[in-house]
Homo-oligomer: A and B are copies of this chain.
């Protein structure tokens, strides 16, 4: 998971705004420089037009040619403000940030996404397919209408397996239960979504004996490693662990890593949450 240096603040022009489902907005903008350097699993910080709030961490959904996009679920003051943006408006974003997924040579990849996590896995799916890997998307949501942009992943060439909590579409239950029932074992699991889903994914991956990379979410402030507000306990032996003295805290083998800087993608096997 190589580290970022290409991050810049970009003033971008909104090209298109689409409401994919009630309260789910897809905003694409003209950002050639950002698009050209973004790697799968990276995110950006969207600067609030009105100030007085921290920037909002959002996955980079699409990045192709002149165009990049974000997809967000309106849930609080910042996304409510971003919701007001429309084609022609300008927005400032800092990115790309964080270390993304690495597909390596995997020939069969299972991508697990839940809720807002879907916004952080499209680039990864495209990369897998481009590398000729079989790519299955295990996609979970509360209900059918929140399985946004599902067809997009099919068009890209994914096998899409859906699960809904209320059974209104696909598998009735959690997406990780669907994953646990796969017949052909994938070589690699990539996941992004709420932490209960990620914990379950880690468990299933361990049972299947498949390595998993998890993209974590936490409340961010700076998004660039400056405030240590977004940490997760990590094995001190992890290559991603920040440097910390040996034997500290009675030789504790755990250290808190910054999700925004050392992550957001971590190896499930190295998390100590």
Cα A80 to Cα B49 in complex, Å, equals 12
Cα A50 to Cα B78 in complex, Å, equals 11
A248 within 8 A of B: no
0/1 per residue, A72-94, Cβ < 8 Å to B? 00000100100010000000000
Residues of B within 8 A of A80 (CB): 50
Q: A91 CB to closest chain B CB, in angstroms?
A: 15
0/1 per residue, A50-65, Cβ < 8 Å to B? 1000000000000000
Cα A166 to Cα B80 in complex, Å, equals 43
0/1 per residue, A177-212, Cβ < 8 Å to B? 000000000000000000000000000000000000
Q: Please, which residue of chain B has its CB at the minimum distance from the CB of A80?
A: B50
Cα A50 to Cα B80 in complex, Å, equals 10
Q: A51 CB to closest chain B CB, in angstroms?
A: 10
Cα A80 to Cα B77 in complex, Å, equals 17
Q: A207 CB to closest chain B CB, in angstroms?
A: 47
Residues of B within 8 A of A84 (CB): 84
Q: Please, which residue of chain B has its CB at the minimum distance from the CB of A77?
A: B50
Q: A14 CB to closest chain B CB, in angstroms?
A: 15
Q: A77 CB to closest chain B CB, in angstroms?
A: 8
Residues of B within 8 A of A50 (CB): 77, 80
B-facing residues in A29-52 (Cβ within 8 Å) = 50
Residues of B within 8 A of A77 (CB): 50
Cα A31 to Cα B84 in complex, Å, equals 25
Cα A84 to Cα B84 in complex, Å, equals 9
Cα A77 to Cα B80 in complex, Å, equals 17
Q: A239 CB to closest chain B CB, in angstroms?
A: 44
Q: A90 CB to closest chain B CB, in angstroms?
A: 15
B-facing residues in A4-21 (Cβ within 8 Å) = none
Cα A84 to Cα B80 in complex, Å, equals 14
Q: Please, which residue of chain B has its CB at the minimum distance from the CB of A81?
A: B50
Cα A147 to Cα B84 in complex, Å, equals 32
Cα A50 to Cα B84 in complex, Å, equals 12
Q: Please, which residue of chain B has its CB at the minimum distance from the CB of A52?
A: B77
Q: A86 CB to closest chain B CB, in angstroms?
A: 11
Listed A/B pairs (3) with beta-carbon separation below 8 Å: A50-B77, A50-B80, A84-B84
Which 3 residue pairs of A and B lie closest in terms of their CB atoms, listed nearest first? A84-B84, A50-B80, A50-B77
